[in-house]
Every structure is written in C-alpha cells, then in structure tokens.
Amino acid sequence: MKKTVFVFLLCAALLAFPALAEEAVEERIPIAENGRLSLYLASNCCSIDIEDHLTGKTWSSTMNDETAEGLKIIPAQQKRITSLLAVNCTNLDTGLGVVNNIALMAEKDLKASYELIGNGVRLTYYLGTYQVGVQVEILLDGNSLVARVPYSGIREDGGFSLVSVDMMPFLFSATDKAEGFFFYPDGCGAIMEFQDYAHYRESTRLYSVYGDFLRQPALLDMFGQEAPDVLMPVFAMNRGGHGMMAIIEQGAESARISLNSSNNIIGINYLFANFQYRRSFDDRRVTSRDIKVFDKNDIPTDYQMRILFLEEEDPDYSLMACAWRDYLLQNGLVEKTQRAPTVAIDLFMNAPEEGLLFDIPRTVTTLSQAEEILRSLDSLGVKNIRASIKGWTADGYGKTPDRFPISGSIGNESDFRRLLETAHSLGATVSLTCNFLEAASDQRGYSHRNDVVYTGNHTILTDPEETVFMLSPEVAQQKMDAFMEKAKAFSLDGIRFERMGKFVAFNYGSRRYLTAADTLNIYHAMADSAHAAFGSAEAEGGDTSLLGHVDFFTDVPYEDFGYQVTTAAVPFYQIALHGLVDYTGRPGNLSSDLEREVLRWAEMGYTPFFELTYDNTEELMYTNYQSLFSAEYTAWQERVARAAKQFTDGPLASLHDQLIVKHERLSDTLVKVTYENGAAVCVNYDQEPALADGAEIPGRSWAVVQPGQ
C-alpha cells in the first residue's frame, strides 16, 4: 500500500504550544503494533507517535512535553518542531559553503508518501525546491523503535546536494520546567538537568561519535581547541519519570550527536542524531573570511538508530548504562569473561633530543633495567603486572610509524627475549606500545604525498608546523603487517595501539579514498591480527567501536570535557563496561594527588596504572616527551605496591569481573557503587569519616560492604 500527500504550508500567527500538540496527533494512521508498542503516523506523513502499553506513555516526534503549556513558539519554529526530520543541503558549485536547514513542514514544495512494510512504514520525502529526496524506514522491534535512512533512498536531482539529516530532532526534548535530564556521551558520560539554569542560551554542542579526527591534539597549534572524547554511540532522556535511549547501530563512525539548550528564540532543550553525508573543510583559496567546502563525493552509508523505551519508573543514568550493557551482551558485541585483576605498568625507554646535526637518544630505561624494575615490584608483592614497553624503537618515542629494530641504546634482541622470559616467570605479561597511525615528518619509509591522509579540500592533514602526518589507514595496516613479520619472532603477549581508540580516520585522497567505515574495518583487522598472534590487543582511548576486538583500553576519561551546558559528569561508560573489558585512566604517578586517583580507581573500577622509568626523567627535559615529570621507579615502587595490592588482593579483587548495577552519590563527597553480587564499594572523598550502608568509611578511603553486613 502506498499513499502520497502533497503538503502545502500557510504562514500562521503566533500560536500557543497546546494547540500545536493537538494538531499533531489528530488523524493518526495506525502503522504497526506488538505486545509492547503501537506506532502511528500523522496524516501529513511528517510526524510519528509511539504508544508504550507497559508504561502508558506516548512519545512523539512532535515535541509533546506536558510542561510546555503556554509556551510561545513562532511559526517558523513550530514547523521545525512538527517535522520528523530536517534536511541539510548545500549547492556545491555556487553555495559558498552555506548550508540550508529545511524542516519537512517548512518546505513549500514537499512531496511525502508512505508505504507499509513489515511491522513498520517506509516514508519517502522529496524537497522540490532543492530537488533532494530522502527515504526513512521506521519499524517496531520488541521494546524498541528502529529508524533507518538507507543510502539507496537518497536523491540529488538538481544543484543542491545532501550534507546531513537531523533524525527526529524533537523526539528527545523538554522545556526547562520539566523534571529529568539528558544523557550524552561526553567523555565518560554527562547529564544536563532540564531545571539547571546554567545551560540556558548555551551554544549547540555537536559531538562526533568516536572522536573528531580533524581536531586531535597532535594536529592543533597552541591555540587550537581540542574536541571532547566521545566513546559511545548512545544518548538518552528521562522526562517526567519516563525514559528512552537512542543507540546508533549503523553509521555511527560518521554520525554526530547534537545537544541544543533552550534560549530566547525557542524555550526547548532537544537532543538528536545528525547523520552526515558530506563533511565540511576550510576553503584554502579564501583567506579573508571562513568559507566551507564540502566533498563532492557523499558518504555511502546506511544509517540506523534504535530507540529503547525503558520500562522502569524514573530511570537514572545507572539504569540507562545497564540497559546499554544488556544490549551489547544480547547482540554479541561483547562477552562477559573471567579475568584476574592486573596492574598496568608502562616502562618508558627512550626519546630523541634534537641535536645540531643528528638526534641524540635520551635513554631512561634499558631492557635489562626493565627486568630489574619487574623483579623489584614482584619482591614488594605486586602481582599480575600487565607491562608495556614504550619508546623501544631505534629512533625513539615519537618517531612514528613504529618499526623494528629495537633501539641499540636500550639493548638488543637477546635482551628483549630475556626480559620476556623474566616477565613470564614472574606471572607478568609484556606488550609493545606501537603507533602505526601517525608519521613523523623526518622519518623515512613512507611517501609524504601518496601515503598520507587528504581532507576534502585537497590538503594533506598535518599540524601547523608539518611535523606530524596522518597515514592513510590501509598504509597504517601495511606498516603493522611489516612490523608483525618481525614481532612474531618474540613471545610477546600483546600490542598496544596508540591513538586507535581516540578517533576513526578517513581519507579523501583521489588515490586512496576511504570512508570512516572503511577505516573501522581496517582497525578491526589490525586488532584481530594482534589478538590472533599474541593473545591480546590493547588500545589507547576507549572507543567502543573496538569492542569485541580489543580487550584492554588505556586513557579512558574520568569526566566530561567541561562545557557549561553540562550539569554533571557520570561514569556511564564504566558502569556499562566493568566486568566486560579492562580499562585504565591516566598514570597514577602523573597525578597531582595519587590518593584521590586511587579513590577514583576504586569508585569506577579502573585497573591501577603507572608509567615508570629506571633513571631520573630529567634526561627527557629537551626531548619531545616532556609529560613524564615524575617516574623514577625507586621513588615510586612503594606507592605502586600499596596501590596495586588494594586491587589485586582482598575484596576489590573479587569484584573485578562483576557487573556494576548502580552508581549513586550519597553526598558531594560520598559515593556508593553496587555490584551484581550485592556487594557495594563505598568511597569517601572527604577528610572526615562518613557513614554508608551502616559502615563507617574513614576519611579519604573506601570500603567494600558485603550484603547482609
């Protein structure tokens, strides 16, 4: 069955919001129903309603917040609020980078049709003014709604080209009067409470899922603004005690999440997924002003987003994180495994100091000294060490891509084999930290023109001084393959991939055109290769795009990026993944307050992590590695031992493979984390003792409270 509706819009006077809501729900067309949900389509094909029979709640793509009574919305914004999606397009030849944002109801020459498909509907929209068409499929699937934008349904018939689609921008929306919050994946996770006035009139925040490749620190100058870490393709809302969560299932590597706070023009907060088809880049031909150019080739991606309707009353971020974890487990994206708790120790070897004619290697740890460090830690009771050798190459740390031979300043292959034998005899594992994604400008073995990443404005992606280049992903894979031929001769226990969990690259080079989806497949193959050869693959960053391929993450953030719009950071990532994959934060010896760092590890289930050297790090003062200001192992080994034993022995160790079911703040300085076996970790950040679950928690300490105590 297929029906077509021609939508003609008239300019209306300023209307009150309730009238808008009534208009949006009349003449609904029943589309599909199961035991939990019913799906309805508006007669104009421009909005949907979903009735949840279990909770009695009706959700609508037309914003239907009960607290919006009396809210004045100007006609132009009413058209946006009543539209299932908005289409962003530009004229690639004459548009000068200007993007037109067209809500369906704002398009005067809109043709809209629907066709019933299995348990859902296929909607076809054609914007006649711009000669751009989009198809959307909306289906019921158990307790969830699935929205798809198939690439095959995109039409571009005229001078305009599709840039992106705002998918159901007002399904997740609320006024400042509503009770509840948004959750969005900023860092470890963040919430914005609707009644927190601090968000009012803040700028729109666009979060690139899995990181903004173009704004990574290695490519920025001293004034450049880093992008937030975005590790998860998830966002959620609790409004008025009812909750739902969106998971971007397909195309996440090219998608963005848009957080919009209320302002004078529209007093509504809204959160949605933006599906990109063309990225923008600065036009290098124009220096007098900023003009964006868009790639003529679109991103051939099918996008799919799943909306989970939470059945629990008044769901908090813990419940949302658990719901996402259940989704990951049920879909086989990750498995619950039993692993012994470990202590992560990075052993830093050497870095180059720039000389007048040649670089001078500055070695702070040799391979034989690394043996001594491991033996010394073992004698202090530090067990299950997960060591990684960093800065092991002939040219020193930062002279990427990493490759053999081993630096003569730290030892030879026999020394390396002896280190591996010693580590294994102590029950420790050893991986090599490698960077195959970046290339130093003064390194040989790659082409500065053909093997590097090009952006959509035909420029090579590099930093302002052109000291670091990004290798095209398949070239990075080739560098790793060459490395593996040599690495397999050693009894390594894994590979640590630097940067891989920080971003997903792409390449617009004419010879090596690669989308982010292509790159993600390459990353998976690289991690799988390391896992097959050595039994473990590790990644820096924590992107969940690598789940199922990587079993250990480093540098997973404790907090959000720090935008004013955020009410609080929450450990959503840690709640969801504890017991499924191991992760570290920053090295404890680089913290200004190790005691507080250990408390964070206990609260969020981190693996203890330190980066150590044999000699004083003053040797590195004039190298390219100056962040390691305190790492000499003799100064740290006692503190490492004290911290490590808390996590590998006793009650915390027994929780290592347990799932977290709830994280709650009992006060500003007291946190309680409950696990699936009923045990709770109570962490007291205050200097004074505090009571939690009937137990007294000493100041600046933690305790595990068992059920029934």
- Find how far residue 509's CA is from the centre of its chain: 26
Residues 646-657: tens digit of each pLDDT: 999 988 999 999
Give dist(CA 172, CA 147) in Å, integer: 14
Return the higher-pLDDT residue of 250 and 63.
250
* Residue range 673-697: mean pLDDT, rounded: 95
What per-residue confidence (pLDDT) applies to 511?
A: 81
Both tokens of 48, joined, read 């949907």
Report the range of poorest mean pLDDT among 62-71, 129-138, 263-272. Answer: 62-71
Query: What is the percent of the chain with per-residue pLDDT over 90, rounded to a whole number?
Result: 82
Q: Does domain 2-289+304-330 have CATH number 3.30.460?
A: no
**Across the strands, what pairs with 429?**
386
Predicted TM-score (pTM) of the model is 0.94
Give dist(CA 62, CA 21) in Å, integer: 7
* Residue range 286-309: mean pLDDT, rounded: 86
**How high does pLDDT run on average in the chain?**
92
Nearest 5°: CA angle at 611, between 607 and 616? Answer: 155
Contacts of 345 by beta carbon, 8 Å cutoff, 6+ apart: 373, 374, 377, 385, 386, 387, 388, 609, 610, 611, 612, 640
Torsion sign, CA atoms 389, 394, 397, 400: negative
Q: What is the DSSP letter of 544?
A: G
Closest CA to 172 of 105, 251, 112, 257: 257
* Model confidence band, residue 537 (pLDDT cutoffs 50, 70, 90): very high
Element at 702 (helix H, strand E): strand 701-705
- Find how far residue 35's CA is from the centre of its chain: 34
Torsion sign, CA atoms 215, 217, 220, 222: positive
What per-residue confidence (pLDDT) applies to 285?
A: 67
The top-level CATH class assigned to 655-709 is mainly beta
Give dist(CA 234, CA 243) in Å, integer: 14
What per-residue confidence (pLDDT) applies to 17?
A: 43
Rg, Å, the chain Cα set? 27
pLDDT above 80: residue 283? no
Residues 408-433: tens digit of each pLDDT: 999 999 999 999 999 999 999 999 99
* Model confidence band, residue 557 (pLDDT cutoffs 50, 70, 90): very high
Residues 519-532: tens digit of each pLDDT: 999 999 999 999 99
Contacts of 249 by beta carbon, 8 Å cutoff, 6+ apart: 146, 233, 304, 305, 306
Residues of each domain in the chain carrying CATH 2.70.98: 2-289+304-330
* Model confidence band, residue 707 (pLDDT cutoffs 50, 70, 90): confident
Residues 31-59: tens digit of each pLDDT: 999 999 999 999 999 999 999 999 999 99
Both tokens of 182, joined, read 């948004």
pLDDT above 60: residue 26? no
Return the higher-pLDDT residue of 283 and 149.
149
Residues of each domain in the chain carrying CATH 2.60.40: 655-709
**Across the strands, what pairs with 517?**
none
Report the range of poorest mean pLDDT among 2-6, 349-353, 356-360. Answer: 2-6
* Residue range 581-588: mean pLDDT, rounded: 96
- Are 210 and 503 in contact by the 8 Å Cβ rule? The answer is yes
What per-residue confidence (pLDDT) applies to 149?
A: 98
What per-residue confidence (pLDDT) applies to 8?
A: 36
* Residue range 232-246: mean pLDDT, rounded: 97
Q: What DSSP letter does each residue of 243-274 carry, written as one string?
A: EEEEEEEESGGGEEEEEE---SS--EEEEEEE
* Residue range 595-605: mean pLDDT, rounded: 97
Residues 146-199: tens digit of each pLDDT: 999 999 999 999 889 999 999 999 999 999 999 999 999 999 999 999 999 999
